[in-house]
Amino acid sequence: MSALPSARPQVVAHRGASHENAEHTLRAYVAALEAGAEALECDVRLTADGHLICVHDRDLRRTTNTRGRVSTMNLDDLSALDFAAWKNPWAELDDEAPERADVDLDRVLTLRRLLETVADAGRRVEIAIETKHPTRYGGLVEKRVVDMLRDFGWDRAGTPARVMSFSYTALQRVEHLAPEVPVVMLLDRAAYWPMLRRVIGPDWIVGPGIDELRAHPRLGRRITATGHDLHVWTVNTRADLELCCSLGVRAVITDRPAYLLDLLGA
């Protein structure tokens, strides 16, 4: 087994420590912090009554077994749902399955509560917030995100926060509202890079998926040659980590923060 190169990327917990825990629950984020994750990643959407919550899908079928769209529901309605039972649907039939203590850790998680958790971590922890598009609320999502960062004093230089999106327009909004907050242009198709390189800001970070880096071996070098840092998702294996280290990737977003930290420490 080859040794990892010396480049040391930041380890970012993708939706928390989501390999072992239900994604986007406070339980998953607490586990990531306990594992030593240096940053947390979340997706955000707006509820019908204007709250930013941490959730990936626009509807709730996958993570709550409940029909309904996030954008049409109020926070009180979402708070009554269990966002973790789907992770181990046979738990009630498994005598060896651990009991879930403090089920509040498995309820809907607001962005504000996650930011409070980051602020109270006792060490510097960064937060990567992905705004999801398309959405019926359009640019209101970015405005609410920036307003909340401003509440924490995280809208200025040195902020532990950054905003990510697959939407170029969304990141333009963030740059206009909070010029000192770093932004990450997510990239899920190598074919988009020739166009994006012409329009994104010189300080923007680029976030390609690990599958695209593997499928297009020259993509990573092409991006770094233009002076942009790389933040790569979703890096879950030693081989993936080795590839990222060889490219000088600055951050790896992973479902398995404890595992990657162990590899890097070794």
- Rounded to 5°, angle at Cα 37 from 39 and 232: 60
Which pair of structure tokens corresponds to residue 134?
């398309």
Residue among 19, 51, 56, 228 flagged as catalytic: 56
Burial level of 266, CB count in 10 A (0-12/13-18/19+)? exposed
Question: Which of 161, 139, 138 shows the shortest CA–CA distance to 151?
Answer: 161
Is the Cα torsion angle 195, 201, 203, 206 positive or negative in sign?
negative
Other beta carbons within 10 angstroms of residue 143's beta carbon come to 14
Backbone angles phi and psi of 252, in degrees to 5: -115, 125
Q: Cα(153)–Cα(225) distance, rounded to whole angstroms?
A: 33
Peptide bond into 134 cis (omega under 30): yes
Residue 26, judged by CB atoms within 10 A of its CB (0-12, 13-18, 19+), counts as buried
Which residue of the set 14, 19, 228, 231 is catalytic?
14
Instruction: Tell me if residue 51 is catalytic.
Output: no
Structural tokens at position 242: 């080795």
Please give the DSSP secondary-structure letter assigned to residue 60.
S
Task: List all residues 6 or more positions away from 209 whose beta carbon is below 8 Å from its beta carbon.
Answer: 187, 188, 232, 233, 234
Verify whether residue 14 is a known catalytic residue: yes
Residue closest to 108 by CA, chosen among 132, 84, 86: 84
Positions marked catalytic: 14, 56
